[in-house]
Amino acid sequence: MIPPDANLVGLFYAERNREFPLRSRVVPVGRGPENAIRIPDPRIAGRHARFLRDDRGFAIEAVDENAVTTLNGDCLAPGERRDLSHGDVVSLSGLGFRFVLNEDTPVLAWLHVVVGVHRGKRFRIIDPQIRVGRGADEDIQFPDRTVSRRHCRVFRRDGGWCIEDLGSRNGTIVNGRPVTEATALEDGDMVWIGDSGFRFRLDAYVGPIPSA
């Protein structure tokens, strides 16, 4: 039996809460352009590790003999393979990812970035509230000078979703209108924070990332 689809969810700075899908039987990860998951960070080896999928489930395999790959804090030797379970944390030279089986983690909503530094990326929302901004402590970080350190928050209210500006310098805009108070969000709404724009998507939506 083929296991359900899985994802890696970034746990570090600009990639925090970004989803990296694991849909192929072999998913190489590294700094080089040939990798299915490319992490352009000098600490990551050109071919750092790879994720494997077969009828039994998923596994992580260390590849580069000079790079550090850990699973839940345990270091893997080059060529060593370890099975993965839902919630495991994989670290590649200190950059962490959480392994998530899709059938076990309810995703409440998504942010699909269509303009700006994160263009083409998709961030999952699995908590009832997230903060978005340039700061390193934000749940979703935008390394964009036009985005304030603590720019806005997206949160659940009365069974729906709202967005609220947190006193940002350049403001938060939804469908062309400035956000001056907590504002309801609907599936497909276009949100601007500084020069970056994303579409808010509910979990029921599946499909390609739309253009702005």
Q: What is the DSSP string of 94-132?
A: TEEEEEEEGGGS---EEEEEEESTTTT-EEEE-SSEEEE
Considering the domain architecture, whether residues 38 and 87 belong to the same structural domain is answered as yes
pLDDT of 103: 63
Considering the domain architecture, whether residues 124 and 193 belong to the same structural domain is answered as yes
209 occurs within a structural domain: no
Considering the domain architecture, whether residues 39 and 117 belong to the same structural domain is answered as no
**Burial readout 115-138 (b: 16 or more C-beta within 10 A, e: otherwise):** ebbbeebbbbbeeeebbbbbeeeb
Q: What is the pLDDT of residues 53-65, one digit of tens each?
A: 988 899 999 999 9
Which domain, by its residues, includes 121? 109-202
Domain end (from 85, 103, 121): 103
72 occurs within a structural domain: yes
**pLDDT tier for residue 16 given thresholds of 50, 70 and 90:** confident
pLDDT at 203 over 90: no
Considering the domain architecture, whether residues 80 and 15 belong to the same structural domain is answered as yes
Considering the domain architecture, whether residues 70 and 157 belong to the same structural domain is answered as no
Query: How many other CB atoms sit within 10 Å of the CB of residue 210?
Result: 12
User: What percentage of the chain has pLDDT greater than the value 70?
Assistant: 91
Q: What is the pLDDT of residues 24-52, one digit of tens each?
A: 999 999 999 999 999 999 999 999 999 99
* Cα–Cα distance, 60 to 167 (Å, whole number): 43
pLDDT of 198: 96
73 occurs within a structural domain: yes
Q: What is the pLDDT of residues 56-102, one digit of tens each?
A: 899 999 999 999 999 999 999 999 999 999 889 999 999 999 998 87
Number of domain units in the chain: 2
102 DSSP β-pair partners: none
207 occurs within a structural domain: no
Considering the domain architecture, whether residues 77 and 125 belong to the same structural domain is answered as no
**pLDDT tier for residue 205 given thresholds of 50, 70 and 90:** very low
pLDDT of 209: 40
49 occurs within a structural domain: yes
Considering the domain architecture, whether residues 134 and 69 belong to the same structural domain is answered as no
Considering the domain architecture, whether residues 95 and 162 belong to the same structural domain is answered as no
**pLDDT tier for residue 210 given thresholds of 50, 70 and 90:** very low
pLDDT of 56: 84
pLDDT at 212 over 90: no
Considering the domain architecture, whether residues 75 and 113 belong to the same structural domain is answered as no
Q: What is the pLDDT of residues 131-187, one digit of tens each?
A: 999 998 899 999 899 999 999 999 998 888 999 999 999 999 999 999 999 999 999
* Cα–Cα distance, 99 to 122 (Å, whole number): 16
186 occurs within a structural domain: yes
Provide φ and ψ at 103, rounded to 5°. -70, -15
Q: Does residue 205 contact residue 110 with C-beta atoms inside 8 Å?
A: yes
Domain end (from 103, 119, 151): 103
Which CATH number covers residue 61?
2.60.200.20
Considering the domain architecture, whether residues 126 and 72 belong to the same structural domain is answered as no
52 occurs within a structural domain: yes
Considering the domain architecture, whether residues 82 and 121 belong to the same structural domain is answered as no
* Cα–Cα distance, 184 to 37 (Å, whole number): 34
Domain end (from 77, 103, 129): 103
pLDDT of 50: 97
86 occurs within a structural domain: yes
pLDDT of 107: 59
